[in-house]
Amino acid sequence: MNLSSNGVPIPFSSELFGPLRATGTARLPDPAALRERLRADGYLYLPGFLDPEEVLRLRSAYFSLFPRGYLLPGTTPRQGVFSGRVPRELPEHGVAGHPAHAFVRSDTFDRFLDDPRLAKLAADLLEGDARMLPRRILRHFHRGSRRASRAHVDLDYMDEGSPRVVTMWIPVGDCPPRSGALVYLEGSHTLSPEEYEPLRDTTDRPEDRRQICHDLEFTARALDRRWLYADFAAGDLMVHVPSVIHASLDTTTDAMRLSIDTRFVRAGDTPDPRWLRPWSADDGA
Ligand SMILES: O=C(O)CCC(=O)C(=O)O
């Protein structure tokens, strides 16, 4: 399997990659056991937590918003297959005028995320009523863009509010590694920020110190730990703590990568004010 992130190759070897540990969702462990697992691993991988049909309906609703020619002829928006051609009139992803910008402000998107099971899970993990922050991100990558999320921790993007946060990452469609899956650096939530600070000097974006590194092989070797991955399917849910290092891989499949990330804080806590407005890709947060 040929993998890369932001155009930098990373060998798919057992030295650099290992499997995420799944938590069964047919009978979810009790809240205390879930909290313990989140504390121990820094993440919860919950295959089939959501209804795959609802997830695929959302995928279909989003890709239906694109101009003709963007999707491969003969395929459906639900499949979300890239034609290889980006229509000239399409603005940059997620800015005003792009379908993702309108979509995160739509009733369809609200209804999908207004799922009581997500709110209950967040409340169980935060041990109190939970509030979903309004800045909910829709990420969408197609093959050839060589763009992905650099290694980072969420805390570096939300350090002006309560650190008591849980993030939920929802693949909107199947998302194996080659489609641009999220990967987690094993046990990295137990590292102190000083331990990975030097990595920030190895970067393709020197103007932004928030990300840790764009080179995932270098990151794994420098911190002597593996990237944990899964063959995500529609319906799966990831939850993580804001101190775990994660990143994503480049999309190299015709099927496009679509995902949502959304965050919860305890209802009484003061969140980072940058997360109180709906997301726009150019909001700088
Ligand atoms: O989807 C991605 O590529 C990044 C998502 C992320 O960083 C997050 O959910 O915290």
Q: Identify the pLDDT of residue 206.
A: 86
The mean pLDDT value of the chain amounts to 97
Q: Identify the pLDDT of residue 124.
A: 98
Judge whether residue 247 has pLDDT over 90.
yes
Q: What is the mean pLDDT of residues 13-39?
A: 97
Take atom 6 of ligand 1 and give the residue whose Cα is closest: 261
Q: Confidence band (pLDDT; 50, 70, 90) for 164?
A: very high
CB count, 10 Å around CB of 92? 12
For the chain, what percent of residues have pLDDT higher than 70?
100
Q: Identify the pLDDT of residue 98.
A: 97
DSSP H helices in the chain: 31-41, 52-63, 99-103, 107-113, 116-126, 193-196, 216-223
Judge whether residue 140 has pLDDT over 90.
yes
Cα 173 to ligand 1 centre (Å): 15
Take atom 5 of ligand 1 and give the residue whose Cα is closest: 261
Cα 74 to ligand 1 centre (Å): 31
Judge whether residue 66 has pLDDT over 90.
yes
Q: Answer whether 183's CB lies under 8 Å from 249's CB.
A: yes
| Domains in the chain: ranges and CATH | 2-267 (2.60.120.620)
Q: Identify the pLDDT of residue 261.
A: 98
Judge whether residue 92 has pLDDT over 90.
yes
Q: What is the mean pLDDT of residues 127-136?
A: 97
Cα 77 to ligand 1 centre (Å): 23
